[in-house]
Amino acid sequence: MSARYEELKGLKNIGQKYAYSDREVMLYACGIGLGADPMDENELAFVNEGTFTPRPLKVVPTFASVAAWGSGPGEMNLNRVMVVDGERDITFHQPLPVAANITADSSVVEVYDKGKDKGVVISHQTVLKNEKGEKLATLVAARFARGDGGFGGPNLTQPDPHMIPSRAPDRTIDIVTRPDQALVYRLCGDRNPLHSDPEFAKKAGFPRPILHGMCTYGITCRGVLQTYADYDASAFRQHIARFSSPVYPGETVTMDLWKDGNTISFEAKVKSRGVTVIKNGKTVLG
pLDDT tens-digit series, residues 186-242: 999 999 999 999 999 999 889 999 999 999 999 999 999 999 999 999 999 999 999
Residues of the chain above pLDDT 90, percent:
86
Q: Is 154 helix (H, G, I), strand (E, B) or coil?
A: coil
Per-residue pLDDT, 170: 98
83 or 15, which is more confident:
15
Q: What is the average pLDDT value for the chain, to the nearest integer?
A: 95
Give me the architecture of the 1-154 domain, per CATH: Roll (3.10)
Return the minimum-mean-pLDDT range out of 17-26, 129-138, 199-208, 261-270.
Answer: 199-208
Catalytic residue among 89, 105, 148, 190: 190
Per-residue pLDDT, 120: 93
Q: Same CATH topology for 1-154 and 171-285?
A: yes
Domain range summary for the chain, segments of one domain joined by +: 1-154, 171-285
Give me the architecture of the 171-285 domain, per CATH: Roll (3.10)
Q: Is 190 a catalytic residue?
A: yes
Q: Is the predicted pLDDT of residue 1 greater than 80, yes or no?
A: no
d(CA 146, CA 119): 4
d(CA 94, CA 234): 7
pTM of model > 0.85: yes
Residue 125's pLDDT band (cuts 50, 70, 90): very high
Catalytic residue among 113, 148, 195, 239: 195
Q: Which residues contact 229 (CB under 8 A, 6 or more apart)?
A: 235, 236, 283, 285
Per-residue pLDDT, 82: 80
Per-residue pLDDT, 117: 86
For the segment 132-150, the average pLDDT, to the nearest whole number, is 94
